[in-house]
Structure 1
């Protein structure tokens, strides 16, 4: 038990050190976005990615999330939608459940370390989405 507490604290410290500032989080979030989201949502976030026309539901733009929420970026809702593990289907099917996909890529870190990495990746991605609001 003591080992897991230590591992958890070290993982959190590493995550904060890796992200550092919101600006760095936005930069790493942009990389996440371009690698995992742009094929459907488009490089500019307008819902016009190269795979959008192949989807069975319209792919939403992501630059007007604040505008649709009275000028306030809906941070928690976006985090839940991107993570997807709690069952939110914020914009239709079939968006990948990125929380599960990210976690599968770092399972060797154990349940606590992997979860810290997953949450960090999602938070960075959402900070980036917040930065592209119009």
Structure 2
């Protein structure tokens, strides 16, 4: 009887762990976020997200270092703030800032022919945030 109970608990645990997101899925999400970052953000923020990418030479401002957000926020990655800023939900200090409102322009480099919206874009933006969080130093 005790053996059956232990076996049932073990089997239940195995089944529950199979239903949850694992490290491989997390890595896939980060990798997909890196792809989105490379296509949409790296030109201005740099390949390593440290600011001053090649397109920033033509801007009046230096894009911020995105890899150091956690360090500048007392060890906390400001995921919600970054999400709201990228999606144009926060008022910018400089209204003429070259930072696009991605909720309006979408991911035009990831999907140059259009066709992605709604849940796809939400997933892409979540993966972008996963990538940014993963590269914090």
Is the contact made by 1:99 and 1:118 (CA closer than 8 Å) also made in structure 2? no
Normalising by structure 2, what TM-score? 0.70
Bigger radius of gyration, 1 or 2?
A: 2
The verdict on how the C-alpha distance between 1:103 and 1:132 changes in structure 2, with shifts beyond 3 A counting, is closer
Choose between structure 1 and 2 for higher RCO, CA contacts under 8 A separated by at least 6 residues: 1
| Structure 1: stretches of 5+ with no match in the other structure | 1-19, 108-113
How far, CA to CA, are the matches of 2:28 and 2:93 in structure 1? 27
How far, CA to CA, are the matches of 1:91 and 1:126 in structure 2? 23
Q: How many equivalent residue pairs?
A: 109
| Structure 2: stretches of 5+ with no match in the other structure | 1-23, 109-113
Query: 1:41 maps to which residue?
Result: 45
Is the aligned partner of 1:83 residue 2:79? Answer: no
How far, CA to CA, are the matches of 1:90 and 1:129 in structure 2? 22
Q: Which has the higher helix share?
A: 1
Is the aligned partner of 1:22 residue 2:12? Answer: no
